[in-house]
A and B are shown apart, each in its own frame.
Chain A
Amino acid sequence: MAGKDLEVVAVAVTKKTHKNRELAQLLTAASCALISGLSQGVNAADSWDVDSAFLLYSESDGRVSAAEPVISATKNFDEETKLTFKIAADTLTGASPNGATASDHVQTFTSPSGKGSYNAAAGEQPLDDTFKDTRIALSTNWAAPINRDWAYGVGGYLSKEHDYQSLGLNGSLSRYLNQKNTTLTLGLNLSNDTVNPEGGVPTGLVQVPLSNSDSEFTQRSDSENKNLVDAVFGVTQVINRSTIMQFNYALSTSSGYLTDPYKILSVIDDNAGANFGGNFQSGGRDLYLYEKRPDSRLKQSIYWQTKHQFENDNILDVSYRYMFDDWGVNSHTIDAKYRFRFDNQYLEPQLRWYTQSKADFYHRYLNSSDYSSADFASADYRLGDLDTYTLGLKYGYKFADETEFYTRLSLYHQESSGDKGYGKLTTQELYPGLDAAMLIVGYKF
């Protein structure tokens, strides 16, 4: 009997021990939940940070307008580990300069598909108004630490338009030094793009045919490829508690079909006579050639950025980029933003200046006497001497639940310059400017 009782007591004690351990485990879990749960505020541990924005872009004279919804979602697993998805869709409509010069008579251009034509009135900049596209872009990125001193990131990118696809992969490796005050980053980005232009891939520096029944059209291939490899080496340095600085050196090579299949050049008559400086005639009509660019490009750039937070919490963000390439293009970009911070609002004016010198093969037009000897030529203003100015103002409001509304209005002004032509051409506006406005409205939650 006595033995039996002892056994019962022993079982009871064991049960109690188990129960107490469960109790302790439960309380440990509840304690951790209380402390760490609150640290995240309303963003519970497994919630997503979502940034949704809508962008409206409009060029002066209604040339191009774009509407672009963007949604990006980031899941933060911890301070340094995160997964980001981004999706953007944009619709572009309007007209873009086709590269031909304005003329003293009405000009007729074959549409890119070769199925029709469009006109430019005398004295007007020729614009291709068949331009309309919808683009969808998806990207994802994963960033995580390897250990105390190293971190990595990998990502992928996919975008699709009806005549252009891009597929990219990227990776980066970061090394923290000096108690994380210095970060060295090596990044690599590979991308493969396919161009399948409307009407096929035209032959460079060949006369634009009248229609798609021309043999130039029937011999075209459907698509071309280009490959890009970008490598970036960066140093980020914490200068002091309120200043951080970054230096980057980037090397970018592209190879393959780098030409814009929709861009053409006018050939101007440089023979002395009545038509000096007018459109050169070939086959009884104005002569336009498809542009042609080299099949490789090597770009290098250096970049410097400094962010400084003032005593009153305002933030100054200044950056400078110098880029040069083997096409002869050099560019400088200076960007400055200053964020005025109020309790739960901020106001951020931005100034940006970009200046670029033209590519070696950029010509506003070609001359009748020597156009046939050109190896490469493009009249794309984006390869010419160019200055752009951006004036922006961003406003953000943070709600009590940490969500944020923001909006940004940017005004963009572009000026091109270059050779003024000769003869009749001198009366034409060869370098029309461009003004555009961009409005972004977004909500982060």
Chain B
Amino acid sequence: MNLLEELPIDTSLNPSNHPNPSLWQVNENSYQVQFECMASDCSILIECKQIDLVKAAANSAVIEAWRIEHKFSRYQTDNTFAEIHSKTDIIQTLDDETTQLMIFADHAYHASQGLFDITSGILRRGWHFDGSNNLPETSTIKELLTNVGWAKLGWDPSNPNQLTLPKGMELDFGGIGKEYAVDKMLLVIRKILSQTTSAILVNCGGDLACSGKRLNGESWKVGIEAVNDQTKAKHIVALSSGALATSGDSRRFLLKDGIRYSHILNPITGWAITDAPRSVTVAAPTCINAGIISTLALLQGTEAENFLSSLNMPHWLSR
């Protein structure tokens, strides 16, 4: 793989000050763009004859990913996330994109009977997944739980752009942000390459989506990280359409009395899921779809395998 060039991106479109993406030539008519986003190494593989279009598409996709990252980041003061949380206990109007994400979060909350809840992010304040045995106090969790619960929001699907956020609550789009960004990047690239023949694979730290088969008619070969040795791929998955997402705790967990507490928290009990698989990979039409199913599977703990088998969705699981 040869480094062709850096793709300079205007600083105004790089609010988180990432290094510029780099463009690599893999083969003739096959390119890879590497960049950082959401604390992950991301790459875009594009097979296309027109390098001009490849560059234009990669540029737009990276800008889109960085836009989403910044918009919903919890660590910024001048973004949509900050703006939403600056207005508590009053009705506020959400922008179109946030509204769509709220509708999705609502579906996910109800479908999972409350197990997927974007208001549960603040539970992290009680948990520090540093591999140690420091479990939080029950009282801390109880206290935090008073500000957790999708149903406590002043939000109604019939009027989805109106939100009243009770003081102390937090909306965390981080759990779906990366998968959402992957889908959106694929969409942006497809649009730009729509007039030509191309094959695309977008990958953000293992969450990925493709446009279809490769130009030679073969599937994309994707390695799923092994639990113990991250440098070695465990499963090789042939992906010819749709997306893959992986949820797991291979790096973030607590261990006490031989029980492994995963970093996935149950928003109803406030407690970490135990006996969850180390990692779950799911294939679905879109990355956000694969992501939500793999997260829900982890939330099932010991029942993860049964849950996944009952869905009729391709999945790979490791304990």
Contact = CB atoms under 8 A, between A and B. Distances in A.
Contact of A27 (B103, B111, B180, B194): B111
B97 A30 contact: no
B50 A31 contact: no
A2 interface: no
Interface in A34-76: 34-39, 41-42
B183 interface: yes
Contacts of A241: 50, 52-53, 56
A12 interface: no
B284 interface: yes
Contact of A31 (B52, B112, B194, B289): B289
Contacts of A26: 107, 111
Contact of A21 (B49, B50, B96, B311): B311
A179 interface: yes
Contact of A38 (B56, B100, B112, B311): B100
A39 B56 CA distance: 18
B310 A27 contact: no
Interface in B87-139: 96-97, 100-101, 103-104, 107-108, 111-112
A241 B49 CA distance: 12
A240 B52 CA distance: 9
A42 B96 CA distance: 8
B187 A79 contact: no
B49 to A, nearest CB: 7
Given A31-B284, A42-B96, A238-B195, A21 B310 contact: yes
A405 B313 CA distance: 48
Given A20-B307, A20-B310, A21-B310, A27 B289 contact: yes
A242 to B, nearest CB: 9
A241 B97 CA distance: 31
Nearest to B290: A31
Contact of A28 (B52, B183, B285): B285
B96 A30 contact: no
Q: Is the interface of B mostly helix, strand, loop or mixed?
A: helix
A211 B258 CA distance: 113
Contact of B100 (A20, A21, A34, A238): A34
A194 B285 CA distance: 56
A16 B100 contact: no
Contact of A34 (B103, B194, B197, B313): B103
B184 A27 contact: no
Interface string B234-272: 000000000000000000000000000000000000000
Contacts of B292: 27, 31
Contacts of A23: 111-112, 296, 311
B187 A32 contact: no
The 8 tightest CB contacts between A and B, nearest first, are A31-B289, A30-B107, A17-B310, A20-B310, A241-B52, A24-B311, A34-B104, A35-B183
11 contacts: A17-B310, A23-B296, A23-B311, A27-B293, A28-B286, A32-B286, A32-B289, A33-B100, A34-B101, A38-B100, A180-B196
Interface of B: 49-50, 52-53, 56, 96-97, 100-101, 103-104, 107-108, 111-112, 180, 183-184, 187, 191, 194-197, 284-286, 288-289, 292-293, 296, 307, 310-313
Given A35-B286, A179-B196, A240-B52, 19 more contacts: A20-B307, A20-B310, A23-B311, A24-B293, A26-B111, A27-B111, A27-B289, A27-B292, A28-B286, A28-B289, A31-B284, A31-B285, A31-B289, A33-B100, A34-B103, A34-B180, A34-B183, A180-B195, A238-B195
